[in-house]
Amino acid sequence: SPQKSPQNLAAAAAAAAAGAGGDERAYPGGVQLPYTKTLQLVDPQAAEKWPVYRVLGLEGQVLAGAAEPDLDEETARKMYRTLVRLQAMDVIFYSAQRQGRISFYMTSTGEEATHVGSAAALDAGDVMFAQYREAGTLMYRGFTLQQFADHCFSNEGDLGKGRQMPVHYGCEALNFHTISSPLATQIPQAVGAGYALKQKGGDNISVVYFGEGAASEGDFHAALNFSATLEVPMIFFCRNNGYAISTPVKDQYRGDGIVARAPGYGVTAIRVDGNDALAVYQAVAEARAYALANNRPVLIEAMTYRIGHHSTSDDSTRYRSVNEIQDWATHDEPGFRFRTWLEGKGWWNEAEETAARQEERMAVLKAMETAENKGPPPLDSLFEDVYEEMPPNLARQKRELLEHVQRHPEFYEKPHH
């Protein structure tokens, strides 16, 4: 082979003898690589940890040396109001599931700042792909409590026609692609969507949310690599809340979290305090501008803590201590930090707080009551949208089922929960 020809070896030796010219080489797999004569394994544990970018302290004060974001009062209030609404919805829908009124639910408790902080920094035309614990981003965009409730109650008002489990929201009008249960599948999809946005030539990016557990899936690897090689303007937003159901991060990975993986893919990255709405807002705003200006992806790892159970099917005290949960809930609660900052600006006060909590609680209860009184989607819709058109096998099965149901009304009229 040419690499081993005597001429090449001689040239290499000559170059080495000449000094600098022989200290590096352009490998096809590694651009211009330096040589070393020091035998040294690289231990990632010895590397410096990625710092966590923050603006607000635990008491809601802007930290010395931190830059307060360029955030107007209206946006800031909308962010906080969304956070309050999300917390009200979570509390009430969670108990509705415990009472058997809905089949399933997942709260966002402790992670609200990642939702409202990121959503506020994005453009309404940016295309969102979510995992399932990002309801606040959709809420910020204008998805109504009635729409949330109609979905969770699987009624005729559900945009998803009652086909998916609760919390699998989606809204075309709000550029929020419908959530699906398989983890991480949305990550490479967001890359494809971002590529489409780049080709359209507009000023929008795609944004994809996922947890640190989902980042262990092969689709995470696929997506990061594709986004870099295909030069896609997008944001990867990882919510690192410490647990994937019962699995703590020490069983999930051994590197420095998710952010440390980004450089390996050639992806720009930042780690941020996920309980600091201002830091999240700034990081996302900066990442968005960078992605658009450079047609390159950015990964954001937001460090946070899952205060709630994984879902209504999970009792998290079986694998973590109540003290640990309480510590986060009392000392690093994102709503408290953001609210204190707002009050310091004179943009919020105790009276507004009381009123907002009450209003949102009543609004959730009303949406839930309305949702409960709506009927299910029509049975015909079971067969629709499998394909754009209805193929003969489905038309046949539809006819057979409808005839069967007519023969056994007493069986099918019973509640199916």
Partner 1 sequence: MRRAASAGLRAAPRRRPLSARRLGASAWSASPGRAAAAEDPEETKRMNLFSAVNDAMRIALLTDESAVVFGEDVAFGGVFRCSVGLREEFGPERVFNTPLCEQGIAGFAIGYAAMGRTAVAEMQFADYIFPAFDQIVNEAAKYRYRSGAQFNCGSLTFRAPCGAVGHGGHYHSQSPEAYFAGTPGLKIVMPRSPREAKGLLLASIRDPNPVVFFEPKILYRAAVEDVPVGDYEIPLGVADIVRPGTHVTVVGYGGQMRVLEEAVRLAEEEHGISCELIDLRTVLPWDRELVCESVQKTGRLVVSHEAPVTGGFAGEISAAVQEDCFLSLEAPVQRVCGLDTPFPLVHEKHYLPNVIKVVEGIKKVAEY
Residue 39's H or E segment, with its range, is none
To the nearest whole angstrom, how small is the minimum distance from the Cβ of residue 102 to partner 1? Answer: 18
Site for partner 1 in 355-414 (CB under 8 A): 384-389, 391-394
| Binding window for partner 1 (CB under 8 A); candidates: 27-35, 156-164, 250-258, 346-354 | 156-164
By CB under 8 A, is residue 230 in contact with partner 1?
A: yes
| Binding window for partner 1 (CB under 8 A); candidates: 43-51, 96-104, 171-179, 358-366 | 171-179
Query: Of 178, 268, 340, 370, which one interacts with partner 1 (CB under 8 A)?
Result: 178
To the nearest whole angstrom, how small is the minimum distance from the Cβ of residue 219 to partner 1? Answer: 6
Structure tokens at 148: 């949330």
Catalytic residue flag (residue 105): no
Structure tokens at 265: 């893919």
To the nearest whole angstrom, how small is the minimum distance from the Cβ of residue 378 to partner 1? Answer: 12
Residue (93 or 226) nearer to partner 1, CB: 226
By CB under 8 A, is residue 130 in contact with partner 1?
A: no
Output the CA angle 264-267-270, nearest 5 degrees.
105
By CB under 8 A, is residue 225 in contact with partner 1?
A: yes
To the nearest whole angstrom, how small is the minimum distance from the Cβ of residue 255 to partner 1? Answer: 20
Number of residues that bind partner 1 (CB under 8 A): 50
Can you count the helices (H) and strands (E) in the chain?
A: 14, 9
Residue 412 CA to residue 417 CA, distance in Å, equals 12
To the nearest whole angstrom, how small is the minimum distance from the Cβ of residue 140 to partner 1? Answer: 19
Which of the following is catalytic: 133, 151, 310, 339? 310
To the nearest whole angstrom, how small is the minimum distance from the Cβ of residue 410 to partner 1? Answer: 28
Spatial CB neighbours of 109, under 8 Å, sequence gap ≥ 6: 87, 90, 306, 307, 308, 329
Query: Of 136, 188, 274, 334, which one interacts with partner 1 (CB under 8 A)?
Result: 188
Residue (94 or 195) nearer to partner 1, CB: 195
Residue 242 CA to residue 304 CA, distance in Å, equals 7
Which of the following is catalytic: 319, 396, 404, 412? 319
Structure tokens at 72: 């107007």
Please name the residue ranges forming H helices in 216-372: 218-229, 262-265, 277-294, 322-331, 334-344, 350-372
By CB under 8 A, is residue 341 in contact with partner 1?
A: no
Backbone angles phi, psi at 32, to 5 degrees: -100, 110
Task: Give the C-alpha distances (Å, rounded to integers) separating 171 from 136, 147, 158, 348, 353.
Answer: 13, 10, 10, 31, 29
SS3 128: strand
- Kindly list the residues in this chain that would bind partner 1 in the complex (CB under 8 A): 127, 129, 158-161, 163-164, 168, 170-172, 177-178, 180, 182, 185, 187-197, 199-200, 206, 218-219, 221-223, 225-226, 229-230, 384-389, 391-394
